[in-house]
């Protein structure tokens, strides 16, 4: 006879729209203790939490919960879970994220952005509002795609000092307004709390095909950023590889 000492709470994923138009990823599980649904990071901090378990592709992931579980009877060996929690499910992203983050605002010109990419040797940056909340992401790919697909031109018009053909027949002055971050950024932001496990961040990045995740406080303000390079560095060091120090931003 086998006895399970923990429940398996299946993780539900949904995208919630905010008034600003951005979409935020939410992960919740049913809570046996409250009867409602709670966020994954809250469940991970609960005294009854048994860790995050990533299932095989197509079978989903779940959190283990020990609430209401009976201890195994004498002489009865508890059933082993299908997948053992790993360091990736126990380590919070705040332990490995970059806290020195270069950010831009909607009105920053693309020329300024490219200069920052080259100077700081980075390939992407969060876009934040006046309160420091992430509202988008911009990458080298976004800028280059716009440069070669649509050109640098923004709104086109005529110089104010120039006349019009109907007025004096003079040659008109052609003007191009420089494009800004707002023209090319990706407005949909997937963000996580610093308490979220590394495994969850990796799953989100792999599922959405993105290379960086803004990490936010409970108030939604940017506290750091996690890149695919951060994940690879953490995994390599855990496996015993000696790496040079991460370059400073």
| pLDDT digit string, tens, across residues 53-66 | 655 544 566 777 87
pTM to 2 decimal places: 0.61
Q: What is the DSSP string of the chain?
A: --B--SEEEE-EEEEEE-TTS-EEEEEEEE-TTTSSEEEHHHHHHSTTEEEEEPPPTTS--EEEE-TTPPPPPTTPPBPPPSS---HHHHSBGGGTSB-----B-TT-BHHHHHHHHHHHT-SEEEEE-TTS-EEEEEEHHHHHHHHHHT-SEEEEEE-TTS--TTTT-PPPPEEEEEPBHHHH-B-----EETTSBHHHHHHHHHHHT-SEEEEE-TTS-EEEEEEHHHHHHHHHHHTT---PPPPP-
- What are the structural domain ranges in the chain? 7-84, 110-147+182-238, 148-179
> What pLDDT does 126 receive?
94
Longest dimension (CA), the chain: 102
Half-sphere exposure of 124 (CA within 13 A, CB side): 21
What span, in angstroms and rounded, lies between the C-alpha atoms of 5 and 173?
77
- Residues whose CB falls within 8 Å of the CB of residue 81, separated by 6 or more in sequence, listed in order: 6, 8, 53, 64
Give the tokens for residue 26.
């939410």
* pLDDT (0 to 100) of residue 68: 64
- Domain spanning 110-147+182-238 has what CATH number? 3.10.580.10
Q: What is the pLDDT of residues 139-188, one digit of tens each?
A: 999 998 888 776 544 444 333 444 444 455 544 444 456 789 999 998 86
pLDDT < 50 stretches in the chain: 1-4, 57-58, 80-81, 152-166, 170-175
Helix axes 198-208, 228-238, angle to 10 degrees: 130
């Amino acid at each position: 006879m086998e006895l399970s000492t923990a429940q398996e709470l299946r993780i539900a994923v949904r995208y919630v729209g905010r008034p600003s138009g951005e979409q935020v990823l939410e992960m919740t599980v049913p809570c046996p203790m409250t009867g409602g649904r709670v966020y994954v990071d809250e469940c991970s901090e609960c005294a009854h939490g048994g860790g995050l378990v990533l299932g095989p592709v197509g079978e989903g992931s779940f959190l283990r919960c020990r609430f209401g579980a009976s201890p195994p009877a004498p002489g009865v060996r508890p059933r082993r879970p299908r997948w053992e929690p790993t360091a990736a499910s126990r380590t919070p992203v705040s332990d490995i994220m970059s806290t020195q983050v270069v950010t831009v605002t909607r009105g920053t010109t693309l020329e300024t952005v490219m200069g920052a990419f080259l100077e700081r040797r980075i390939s992407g940056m969060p876009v934040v509002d006046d309160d420091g909340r992430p509202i988008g992401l911009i990458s080298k790919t976004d800028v280059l795609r716009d440069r070669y697909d649509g050109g640098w031109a923004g709104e086109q018009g005529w110089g104010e000092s120039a006349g019009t053909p109907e007025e004096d027949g003079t040659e008109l002055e052609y003007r191009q307004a420089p494009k800004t971050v707002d023209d090319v950024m990706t407005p949909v932001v997937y963000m996580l709390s610093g308490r979220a496990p590394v495994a969850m961040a990796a799953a989100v990045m792999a599922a959405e095909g993105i290379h960086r995740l803004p990490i936010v406080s409970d108030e939604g303000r940017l506290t750091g950023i996690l890149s695919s390079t951060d994940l690879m560095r953490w995994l390599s060091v855990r496996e015993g590889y000696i790496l040079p120090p991460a370059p400073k931003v």
